[in-house]
Structure 1
Amino acid sequence: MIDHTGISVSDFDASKAFYDQAMAPLGASLIMTVPQEFTGGVKVGGYGRERPTFWLHQGDKPKDRQHIAFSARSRAEVDGFHQAALAAGGRDNGAPGLRPHYHPNYYGAFVLDPDGNNIEAVCHEFEPAKG
């Protein structure tokens, strides 16, 4: 239902470095930067897999914490996202795991980005227990 979305970040370069690392395990990367002559001098970049669907733009630090959930294709991607986001300086806001209070197959992980936004990777695929 949502085609694309974005958030304001107080330090574009720091956020770009964070998201470059956090998005890699999800198979996403910075796909596009908008030339600053088209943005009034504001840094703008879009992340995605095939096309930009998540945008960062330089601006004021958000007054309210935003929550963005990125789709993962497997639980391993969720785990990788969490590990990469923490290694990039994110703060843990919920380790990878099942969250059956949301849905029986809801497997997610939560990290606070450099501006304190709650970012999440979530996989809804059923994966049988190993063993």
Structure 2
Amino acid sequence: MLDHIGIHTNQFDRLTHFYESVLAPLGYSKLASYEDAAGFGSDKPELWIGTAQAKPTPIHIALAAPGSAAVDAFYAAALAGGGKDNGPPGLRPDYSPGYYAAFVLDPDGNNIEAVYHQPA
């Protein structure tokens, strides 16, 4: 359904560097870079970071991971990069069977999730 999504920040450089490190374990990298925007993805930019004049309202984004080890690596990279724990890696059977995820708050307070749907 979605083609891309954007996060606005008044800490553009900090957030761009944060996402460069936490998206790498999921197989995503910075594919586009402009003075006030950066796009991340695997084939095309799907997550955009852009500048905002005022402090934006935090949002929740769930990112697909290729496996549970990638979820673990995402979580470790996020904490090392200045993110805050919002739910450690693990199964969440109350969401759905095989739902393996980790949650972190980025430097702007956005709730970023990496999720892998394990085969049943």
TM-score (norm 1): 0.87
Instruction: Structure 1: state its 5+ residue gaps.
Output: 37-42
Secondary structure at the aligned position of 1:14 is classed as helix
**What's the CA shift for 1:10?**
1.5
Which secondary structure state, in structure 2, belongs to the residue aligned with residue 54 of structure 1? strand
Residue-by-residue CA offset, 1:28-77 (whole Å, 9 max, x unaligned): 1110013x4xxxxxx10100011100000011321x32001100010010
**Which ranges of 4 or more aligned residues in structure 1 deviate by more than 3 Å?**
none
Matches within 5 A, 1:53-72: 53-59=46-52, 60-62=54-56, 64-72=57-65
Q: C-alpha root-mean-square deviation of aligned residues, in Å? A: 1.1
How far apart, CA to CA, are the structure 2 residues paired with 1:88 and 1:5?
Answer: 22
**1:15 matched to which residue of 2?**
15
Q: Percent identity?
A: 51
Q: Structure 2 counterpart of 1:32, which letter?
A: A
The higher radius of gyration belongs to 1
Residues 70-89 of structure 1 aligned to structure 2 (within 5 Å):
70-89=63-82
Secondary structure of the 2:118 match is: coil
**Higher relative strand content:** 2
TM-score by length of 2: 0.95
Aligned amino acid, residue 53 of structure 1: E
Give the Cα separation in 2 of the matches to 1:61 and 1:20: 21
**Partners of 1:122 and 1:98 in 2: CA distance:** 10
Residue 124 of structure 1 is matched in structure 2 by 117
Number of residue-to-residue matches in the alignment: 119
SS where residue 123 of structure 1 aligns? Answer: strand
Distance of 1:12 and 1:88 partners within structure 2: 15
Taking the aligned partners of 2:10 and 2:95, their CA distance within structure 1 comes to: 31
